[in-house]
Amino acid sequence: ADTVKIGYVSPQTGPLAPFGEADKWVIEQMKTAFKDGIVIGGKKHVVQIVLKDSQSNPNRAGDVANDLILKDKVALILTAGTPETANPVSDACELNEVPCISSVVPWQPWFFGRKGHPATGFNWTYHMFWGLEDVITSFTNGWMAVATNKKVGALFPNDGDGNAWGDKELGFPKPLSGMGFSLTDTGRFQNGTQDFSAQIAAFKKDGVEIVTGVVIPPDAKTFLTQARQQGFKPKVITLGKALLFPGAIEALGDLGDGLSTEVWWSPSHPFTSSITRQSAKDLSEAYETTTKKQWTQPIGFTHALFEVACDALKRSKSLKPGDVRDAVASAKLGTVVGDVAWGGKGPFKNVSKTPLVLGQWGKGKKYKYELTIVNNVSAPRIPLGGTLRLL
Amino acid sequence: MNPSYKVVRSIQGGQALLAVGLALVGLAVSLPWWGESSWMREFVEIACYFIFAMMWNLMAGYGGMVSIGQQAFFGLGGYAMLVLGNFLGINPFVAVLLGALAAGLIAIPVSRIAFRLQGGYFAIGTWVIAEVFRLTIANIPAVGGGSGTSLTALRGIEKATRESVTYWMALACVVASIGLVYFFLRSKQGLALLAIRDNEVAARSQGVAVGRMKLAVYAVAAFGAGLAGGLYFVGNLRISPDAAFSVNWTAFAIFMVVIGGIGRIEGPLVGALVFWALNKFFSDYGTWYLIGLGLLAIVMTIYFKQGLWGYAQQRWGWTLFPTARRLVLNTTLATGLTPVQPAGPSIDGMPSATVNSGDPFQDGPNPSSRYAQ
Amino acid sequence: METLLQGLLLGGLYGLFALGLSLMFGVMRLTNTAHGDFIILGSFSTLALVGAGLSPVMAMLVTLPLAWIVGYALQRYVLNGTLGKDPLPSLVVTFGLSIVTQNLLLELFSADPRSIETNGLNALGWSITPDLSVGVLPMIILALAIATTAGLQWLFNHTALGRSFRAVSDDREIAELMGLNARKVYAMATALAFVLVALAGALQGMRTTVAPSDGPLLLLFAFEAVIIGGMGSFWGTLAGALLLGVTQQVGFRFDPGWGIWGGHLMFLAVLVLRPQGLFPKTRG
Amino acid sequence: MPLLALHSVSKSYGALKVTDSISLSVQKGETLGILGPNGAGKTTLFNLISGDASVNAGRVEYNGEDVTALPPHLRCRRGMGRSYQVPQPFGNMSVFENLVTAACFGGGQTERAAWDTAVQVLDQTGLMPQANKPAGSLTLLNRKRLELARALATGPQLLLLDEIAGGLTEHEAHELVEELQRIKASGVTMIWIEHVVHALLSVADRLFVINFGQKLAEGKPHDVMNDPEVQRVYMGMEV
Amino acid sequence: MAALLQTHHLKAYYGDAQALFGIDFELNAGELVAIIGANGAGKSTFLKCLTGLVKAKAEAITWKGQPIGGMPPGKIVRQGLAMVPEGRRLFASLSVEENLLMGANAQRQGPWSLDRLYRLFPILNEKRHLPGTSLSGGQQQMVAIGRALMSNPEVLLCDELSLGLAPIVIREIYNAMPSITAEGMAVVIVEQDVSVARQVSQRLYCFQEGQVSLQGLSTDLSKEQISHAYFGV
Ligand SMILES: Nc1ncnc2c1ncn2[C@@H]1O[C@H](COP(=O)(O)OP(=O)(O)OP(=O)(O)O)[C@@H](O)[C@H]1O
Ligand SMILES: Nc1ncnc2c1ncn2[C@@H]1O[C@H](COP(=O)(O)OP(=O)(O)OP(=O)(O)O)[C@@H](O)[C@H]1O
Ligand SMILES: [Mg+2]
Ligand SMILES: [Mg+2]
């Protein structure tokens, strides 16, 4: 029978490895789901999924994407997990004229980080995730619910996310000052920085009570331990990226309790898979049963990427890149992370948005730390689990 | 007064070799019409490695300057190309050349710092310099800072055109870099460079401007590295400081040169072929592949210093790019210096001089051994 | 004030990085481009032992003698063959070792950054004044750096081993004539350097996170400290390291993105203005 | 005007004063012989003249120009040719190429002209049979010959020769002397350091004796050799 | 009885260049032998072969009948051969006393100790803590000799002892010779100064171009023979 190959690129190793941790499991699940093949253009095709590791390294991500396109000759590439992987993969697809669906990057760093032009957009690359506007709304709403001096200290590194979050126009600074928060941003630092005393000193000096940012997990640990060493105790710590994962929280020991972060997917999200018909809760429980590990947020999105891919391939006239691309572009699908459809105005020609809420880590029953949703202003469909506590 | 003589600078079968070479180039030029686009991409990539290695060889193998910081110029070439293309709207392919030029020019002030150090210190010092460039670029938001940016200048150009132009350009650069190094080494300046490598003190006392020569070689090597960089990123569309200024570029160059044989033009050529083959068959082994490369470089350096081509040259006297000057006297006396061999036709039509006169000269053994350059 | 203090604490760690490099430079004129990777190797071996259930101190006690053996064997069987007037062989070989070490660690431990569990020691702070508090672990590191420097300097100046280090470094041929086996002396020097490297690595792993690809940056810091300090004296190396730490810290204050850049720039400035280093050897 | 004039030049290595305020001048066409015990500072004096070492004090004038601060390669291009006591060949290049290099850069010739010069010098110095051998493979004697040949190939006005006769057989020494006499007759000025005294005496117009970096004696060869101090210090024989 | 130290057709090379072309030499216990010869004749190379610094065939050099050619220098010095190298070559970063102690590395028993050396060269005692290289040439030469003696050798090889030294210093050093050889130590000196060589030695070898051109009892050889062998005239 004919074969259709789907490429998948994510960080399996390196500082961003937690983003790719669940991929192997999801892919196994997909192999079962696709074991009978899918019909494309009237012909049955065996599905083969090729997984490549970007090692959290943008250069490597581009290289493996090129390999997938030129050597493996995949029909479609899926990619997820921070701009460091998704952007170069998307660029390689755009360059080589192969369709690509990406996720787990706020859409601004994905679109503007790749120098996308809102008027023309991209021809081959499509993206599904939330945007900075959502994360700003969720974070600030959460902070306004507790008593603080509204002094915020920011940790924005010199990478795709950090540059977007900290951007004067697109990022945090403008809306924050609009809402009466003052922002201490000491500047972009290198990922893997071993010493945060400069930032800590600046935060202490400005009397910062809220710390936010988007840092990689090891840097969060370095920052938090050094803050403790140097006697800096903010009331709220809401970090993107670093605090998404239970493993990272556990590694922090006692420092982990009460930290908050953005939540893009959880078992309580009210959506179901178009392939397996599992609800979000079923999906996470299935993961926990097989792997004996606590659920993580990327599970939903990895799963959803395959949902969109499967749907598009089924609707595609042939395996010609142009046909597959057209099928992707015309997707209208309810997935386990919400509804996916492209074709809005400006950047939204290539971007489909999914909902976002705020969560907080606390001592759990089943696991050492569990995530509770504490603010849902920007996505009221997602049920609340509690309210934000101070540290 | 002078015995009549001839200076032979070619090898036997040179013309045949030249013909084979030209045929290969011709074949390569036509590749876009019959080959697959993945082949072109592969060639461009290996061409970048090769040009980079060739320049590293010129600098370390001939000039005695062992640098681990050549990625500075690779990255600068790439970024200069990007800035010229993205912001100034210059055709990216033209921008590649201009970027290389920029890298070469920047090398001149940089050399003032780097030349303060010698030997191993020079090596690591140049690495620090490369890091300074990396961090500087990473802190400039206009070029995307640490996350890098995409080359938008190429977006308007059709895929097939882009691919073949990039490919031809890489091919031209490969041929040009071989030609450049070859003719440079054959020239009077090449003689000076060899003299410096052998004995700096004596070279100075024979009137060779050692400092200027080293600077020239450093700048030319930077130009070549910049060229490789520009070319690489034109083929890749996306550039980031970590990729552009990665020490791996130099690591692979060192590997190729050491495997092929340092201080000979054939070295990087053979090294690049070996590297390409290893890469093709083993790169899927990922880290194990890299571990293997590292071990191979170590073993070669300790047990097999002259490299593959050096071995062939010693063993069988092979040379593809003759740069030596062999003196042949125009007499057929049995006791003569060198039997007037039917010296192979000159590979490139370099003049073989003949001066009249006819002194007999002293007896002597027959030194016909070729030797390493 | 706080910047200065934090800079000195950071410099203490760099000092530990640099001492081993300085030792190998000094005795063998060997530029070890794999130095940083060996530091990381030290971190990971301690880390693996802690992972296997040993306490951090026990793990270090196991790692240090192991490092001695590895260093000795490496010099004896690999690096000795590369010494000589031409710097190329030793550079290529150590560079090869760097790649091998990095990828081996990558294979064994993956690219994830990790840190060594110290049972909360790394979060302990010590408040000097109400607004000024420093980490206990960094203080310990600085103290160790100073102690190690003093120890090395003493070893070099006042023991038979130190005498043979200096002798082979001055004139290998004559030293052999005096009955020294230069290859063994070199091996001892590298072994000692490796102990320092392993110590530095373990402490680095406790203070912050380490990943297999961190090595080169550490090599550059160590190298800069050695050159800034000026060749030939360990106190100079430590001073260079402290200066580098303070400069970086000042740079971080100015803008976190430019801190390390500032350190590099200071190094280059020293190179241009005072190529012999700030505290060159003052003997006799 | 003398071709070369040293004005109280001094040089120390650490605490060791190797050249101690030496003044000397050499006229065009003259051959000056330099004698002195081992380690007296003869080679060092050459280094100061050729620019391989820089003076701590004093001045070097060449052709009326102050060349004290001039780097060696420019001094060479102004007409100073030098041979080294410890031969310094370009070991991986052939003898012929060694000479071509010297003629090209020291002599400022085009490559084509340099070939002519090289062939002529090869012929003149009897190195023709070795022309295509790598210089590194030569025997010591031939290396020393190459030193002379290379210095000649730069087309020197002033030739600095450091112990080129050591180890020659009687016959060879005789040939060398004849060769040097020919060079001298062609108008080249020479300074020659030599321990093989009888060879030196048959070419030198004047002798200059150094001991401990200082001038011990200077003058007509015959007078200098009969100087009791020179006999004692240099020949080491009690008179 | 076989000689203490013998060479049989010893050849030596520096890379491709041959420096010694078959040297036959012998030395008996308690003897003082001088080697003379022009620059580059191979005298230093010969001594380096004896001490293992230049490689030689094993059988080419025998020590008490045992082949020692090509042994590492460290082993040879433990057998009892010590060398005072040409140009002194003190360790620049070691003090006078440390330089002397380096000699004791061979750990051979015998009469020589720091104390005894300081008695022989009292000036060194005064300067024991100064860096070796800050001494005058003559004093450095004393350190170099002392360093060799500290290994309590049976044979002392001295290369160009008087090189660069004032005549008065040379005399001082040669005056110390008898007290050095008194206990039966054999000595080989390489000396440019023919008259000194003849005065102090019992036997003489003259080297020319890597070969022995003349040998015999110092008192038997005439000035003419020597200058013929030396200069080739
Ligand atoms: N680069 C240097 N560094 C330190 N000392 C040096 C240096 N060059 C020469 N010397 C010392 O200077 C002194 C004079 O050396 P020089 O080579 O000039 O002697 P020479 O008269 O040429 O002797 P010979 O006849 O043996 O060639 C010697 O003691 C030597 O050790
Ligand atoms: N390290 C070396 N490499 C190459 N050739 C060398 C080396 N050392 C000595 N030679 C050569 O070997 C030959 C013998 O040198 P050696 O030093 O033994 O002579 P010598 O008799 O001691 O002379 P001198 O009186 O100058 O000390 C010389 O021609 C010399 O040029
Ligand atoms: Mg001399
Ligand atoms: Mg000698």
- Mean pLDDT, chain C, rounded, equals 86
Report CB contact under 8 Å: A229, C122. yes
Per residue in E74-112, pLDDT (tens digit) is 888 888 899 988 877 888 888 888 989 888 887 788 888
- Residue C146's pLDDT is 94
Mean pLDDT of A373-391: 89
| Residues E105, C180: C-beta atoms closer than 8 Å | yes
What is the model's pLDDT at position A154? Answer: 94
Domain span at C84? 2-107+135-273
| pTM confidence score | 0.84
List where CATH 3.40.50.300 sits in chain D.
Answer: 1-79+156-239
* Residues E117-156 as b or e (16 or more Cβ within 10 Å = b): bbebbeebeebeeebbbbbebbbbbbbbbbbbbbbbbbbb
Asked if pLDDT for residue B353 goes beyond 60, the answer is no
Whole-number pLDDT of residue D173: 80
pLDDT at position D10 is 92
Distance CA B121, CA C29 (A): 10
**E208 pLDDT more than 80:** yes
What's the mean pLDDT when you consider all of chain B? 81
ipTM of the complex: 0.82
**Chain D CB contacts of B355 below 8 Å:** 116, 119
pLDDT > 90 in chain E, percent: 8
Secondary-structure class of domain D1-79+156-239 per CATH: alpha beta
Burial label, E1 (beta-carbon count in 10 A; 0-12, 13-18, 19+): exposed
User: Is chain D in touch with chain E: ≥3 Cβ pairs within 8 A?
Assistant: yes
Cα A304 to Cα A269: distance, rounded to the nearest angstrom? 13
> β-pairing, A338-341 with A332-335?
antiparallel
Give dist(CA A12, CA B321) in Å, integer.
47
**Is pLDDT above 90 for C101?**
yes
Helices marked H in E13-112? 43-51, 73-79, 96-103
C touches which chains (3+ CB pairs under 8 A)? Answer: A, B, E
Q: Which of B121, B127, B297 sits opposite C96 (nearest CB)?
A: B297
Domain segments of chain E as ranges: 5-231
What are the tens digits of pLDDT across the range B103-125?
999 999 999 889 888 878 888 89
In chain B, what residues touch C224 (CB-CB under 8 Å)? 128
Mean of the pLDDT values across residues B330-340? 47
pLDDT of residue A326: 93
Question: What was the pLDDT predicted at E89?
Answer: 84
**pLDDT value for B2:** 65
pLDDT at B100: 94
With CB atoms and an 8 Å threshold, state whether C136 touches A229.
yes
Pull the structure tokens for residue D39: 């380690």
Q: How many domains does chain C have?
A: 1
- Atom 29, ligand 2: residue with shortest CA distance: E40
pLDDT mean over B153-179: 87
Cα radius of gyration (chain D) = 17
What is the per-residue pLDDT for D129?
87
- E strand spans, A197-263: 210-215, 236-241, 260-263
Q: Which residues on E lie below 8 Å from D85 (Cβ)?
A: 39
Contact indicator for D138, D130 with CB cutoff of 8 Å: yes
Average pLDDT taken over every residue of chain D: 86
Check CB contact of E107 with chain C, cutoff 8 Å. Answer: yes
User: Is residue A267 packed enough to be buried (19+ CB in 10 Å), middle (13-18) or exposed (0-12)?
Assistant: middle
| CATH number where C12 lies | 1.10.3470
- Closest-CA residue of chain B to A94: B155
Distance, CA E103 to ligand 1 centroid (Å)? 26
Report the candidate in E193, E189, E213 with the shortest Cα–Cα distance to residue E203: E189
Ligand 2 centre distance from Cα of residue E138 (Å): 23
* Residue E191 pLDDT greater than 90, yes or no: no
What pLDDT is attached to residue D235?
60
pLDDT digits (tens, 9 = 90+) for A224-254: 988 988 889 999 999 998 888 888 888 777 8
Does the structure show a pLDDT above 60 at C61? Answer: yes
Answer whether residue C207 shows pLDDT above 90: no
- Is the pLDDT assigned to residue D168 strictly greater than 90? no
- Sorted by sequence, the CB contacts under 8 Å of residue D13 that are 6+ apart come out as none
Asked if A56's CB is within 8 angstroms of C111's CB, the reply is yes
E231 band by pLDDT with thresholds 50, 70 and 90: low
The continuous run of DSSP H or E covering C250 comes out as helix C234-254
Binning pLDDT at 50, 70 and 90, where does residue A391 land? confident
Higher-confidence residue: A55 or A196? A196
- Nearest by CB to C92, from B116, B138, B301: name it: B301
Residue nearest ligand 2's atom 25 by CA: E39
At residue D61, the pLDDT reads 92
Name the range with the highest mean pLDDT among B20-34, C236-250, D189-203. Answer: C236-250
CA–centroid distance, E85 to ligand 4, in Å, is 9
Q: What is the pLDDT of residues E113-170, one digit of tens each?
A: 889 888 888 888 888 888 877 776 677 888 888 899 888 888 999 888 776 565 566 7
Q: Which residues of C touch E52 (CB under 8 A)?
A: 176
Taking an 8 Å cut-off on Cβ atoms, the answer to whether C255 and A186 are in contact is yes
Confidence of residue A197 (pLDDT cuts 50, 70, 90): confident
Decide if pLDDT at C241 tops 90.
yes
User: Which residue in chain C is spatially nearest to E127 when comparing CA positions?
Assistant: C284
Query: A186–C208: do the CB atoms touch at under 8 Å?
Result: no
Non-local (6+) Cβ contacts of B34 within 8 A are none
For the segment B167-175, the average pLDDT, to the nearest whole number, is 93
Report the amino acid identity of residue C178.
M
pLDDT at B355: 39
**Contact by Cβ (8 Å): A294, A287:** no
Q: Write down which chains contact chain A via at least 3 CB pairs under 8 A.
A: B, C
Under the banding of pLDDT at 50, 70 and 90, the label for residue B368 is: very low
| Partner-chain contact C220 B251, CB within 8 Å | no
Continuous H helices in D70-126: 72-77, 95-101, 111-125
Instruction: List, for residues D26-76, the tens digit of each pLDDT value.
Output: 999 999 999 887 668 888 899 999 998 889 999 999 998 999 999 999 999
- Does A183 score more than 90 pLDDT? yes
Q: Give the mean model confidence (pLDDT) for residues B193-222.
A: 90
C61-74 residues labelled b (16+ CB within 10 A) or e (exposed): eebbebbbebbbeb
Q: Where is mean pLDDT largest: A219-223, B53-57, D164-168, D209-213?
A: B53-57
What's the CA-to-centroid distance between E197 and ligand 4, angstroms? 15
Q: What is the pLDDT of residue D222?
A: 87
- How do beta strands E203-208 and E32-37 pair? parallel
Range A329-358 average pLDDT: 90
Q: Report whether CATH 3.40.50.300 matches the domain E5-231.
A: yes
For residues B137 and B131, give the distance between their C-alpha atoms in angstroms, rounded to a whole number.
10
pLDDT category, D226, cuts 50, 70, 90? Answer: confident
pLDDT above 90 (res C39) = yes
- Residues of A at the C interface (Cβ-Cβ below 8 Å)? 13-15, 17, 55-56, 158, 186-190, 192-195, 197-199, 201-202, 204, 217-219, 221-222, 225-226, 228-231, 253, 255
Nearest-CB residue to C33 (from B68, B112, B131)? B68
In A, which residues are within 8 Å of B236 by CB distance? 62, 92, 95
B136-148 pLDDT, tens per residue?
998 888 888 877 8
pLDDT at E167: 59
* Mean predicted lDDT score pLDDT of chain A: 90
Give the Å distance between the CA of D53 and the centre of ligand 1: 12
Give the residue-averaged pLDDT of B165-180: 92
- In this prediction, residues C23-28 reach a mean pLDDT of 86
Please say if the pLDDT value at position A184 is more than 90: yes
Q: Chains D/C: 3 or more C-beta pairs closer than 8 A? A: no
Q: Please give the distance, rounded to the nearest whole angstrom, from the Cα atom of residue D102 to the centre of ligand 2.
A: 25
Given a cut of 50, is residue A163 above it in pLDDT?
A: yes
Residue B317's pLDDT is 74
Q: Give the pLDDT of residue D108.
A: 85
Residue from E13, E25, E43 whose mutation best tests the ligand 2 pocket (most atoms within 8 A of CB): E43
In a domain, residue C240? The reply is yes
E83 reaches C (C-beta below 8 A): yes
Going by their DSSP bridges, the two strands A43-53 and A260-263 should be labelled as unpaired
Protein residue closest via CA to atom 29 of ligand 1: D39
Q: Choose the weakest-confidence range: A120-129, B279-288, D1-10, D63-72.
A: B279-288
Query: Nearest-CA distance from D138 to chain E in Å?
Result: 7
Q: Give D95 Cα–ligand 3 centroid separation in angstroms.
A: 24
Binned at pLDDT 50, 70 and 90, residue C181 comes out as confident
| Dist. CA E32 → ligand 3 center (Å) | 28
The set of protein residues with a Cβ atom below 6 angstroms from ligand 2 is: D 140; E 14, 17, 19, 37, 39-45, 86
> By the CB < 8 Å criterion, does B127 face chain C?
yes
* pLDDT digit string, tens, across residues B295-329: 999 998 888 888 888 888 877 777 777 777 888 87
Average pLDDT on A264-276 reads 93
Interface touch D37/E134, C-beta < 8 Å: no
Query: What percent of chain B is predicted at pLDDT more than 70?
Result: 88
Give, using CA atoms, the residue closest to atom 3 of ligand 2: E14
Q: Do B3 and D123 touch (CB under 8 A)?
A: yes
How far lies A241's CA from each of A198, A238, A245, A248, B240, in Å?
22, 10, 8, 10, 21
| pLDDT above 70 (res A297) | yes
